[in-house]
Amino acid sequence: MARSSSGIVAGLTVAALAAVGFLAFQASANVPDTLGKPAASVSAEPSASKAAPRAKKDPAALPAASGSGVRVVYSTGADRVWLVGAGNKVKRTFGVTPGTVDPAVGTYAVTSRTGATPGSDGTQIEHVVRFTEVDSVSVGFSAAVSGSTEAPDPEKKVGGIRASRANGDAMWAFATVGAKVVVVK
């Protein structure tokens, strides 16, 4: 009798763990629509709504109209990210491969993070840092475990902004939930 009841307990434990894992995944994948969208007062900020001119001599220079404070700056026109620390000091800048869905120009906050998961294109990704949703597509930064930064299939709606693994590690360390993300042209 003890043998069969321990099998039942083990089975229930496995089922409970599976349910908790599924619910955690659902919670991270179903962030409310209003989280991460620019607030009316923030999106009206002139520095975030203009195209971001950069010095022609240095295309990696921080865009002048990218806001202030500690933040991640993402240029959809330059396909580049800047991790900006205190005193407007650029800690790191790097090129990225955008998804097929671009976020609107504005100021956002990191809404969720996932250590590792399959991407919407089926590629195994890590260090996912999400900051908005566009037409039911999550938009955020990530790195492919394989190190690939290939452009996604243009026929698919993909919100993943891919970086190298080293740059994905830097983003993961820098951009915790609530961190400011400024999107410029």
Average pLDDT over residues 87-116: 96
Residues 6+ apart with CB under 8 A from 167: 81, 92, 94, 96, 143
pLDDT value of residue 55: 46
Q: Is residue 155 part of a domain?
A: yes
Overall average pLDDT of the 72-87 stretch: 96
**Domain annotation covers residue 180:** yes
Q: Which of the four pLDDT bands, split at 50, 70 and 90, describes residue 60?
A: confident
- Is 2 within a domain? no
Q: Supply the range of the domain harboring residue 35.
A: 31-184
The answer to whether the CB of 157 falls within 8 A of the CB of 101 is: yes
- The answer for residues whose C-beta is within 8 angstroms of residue 142's C-beta and 6 or more apart is 119, 125, 126, 127, 128, 129, 160, 161, 162, 163, 168
Mean pLDDT of 79-90: 96
Tokens 């902004």 belong to 161
CATH number at residue 146: 2.40.440.10
Tell me the C-alpha distance between 57 and 32, whole Å: 42
Q: Is residue 63 part of a domain?
A: yes
Q: Does some domain include residue 91?
A: yes
Residue 24 has pLDDT above 90, yes or no: no
Q: What is the DSSP string of 80-104?
A: EEEEE-GGG-EEEEEE-B--SSPPP
Residue 52 is predicted with a pLDDT of: 44
The DSSP bridge pattern shows strands 80-84 and 90-95 to be antiparallel
For residues 93 and 82, is the Cβ–Cβ distance under 8 A?
Answer: yes
What are the tens digits of pLDDT across the range 128-165? 999 999 999 999 999 999 988 889 999 999 999 999 99
The answer to whether position 14 is within a domain reads no
pLDDT tier at 6, thresholds 50, 70, 90: low
pLDDT at position 122 is 84
Which H or E run contains 168? helix 165-174
- CA 131/CA 75 separation, integer angstroms: 14
Residue 26 lies in a domain: no
Q: How many domains does the chain have?
A: 1
Tell me the average pLDDT of the chain.
80
Residue 10 lies inside a defined structural domain of this protein: no
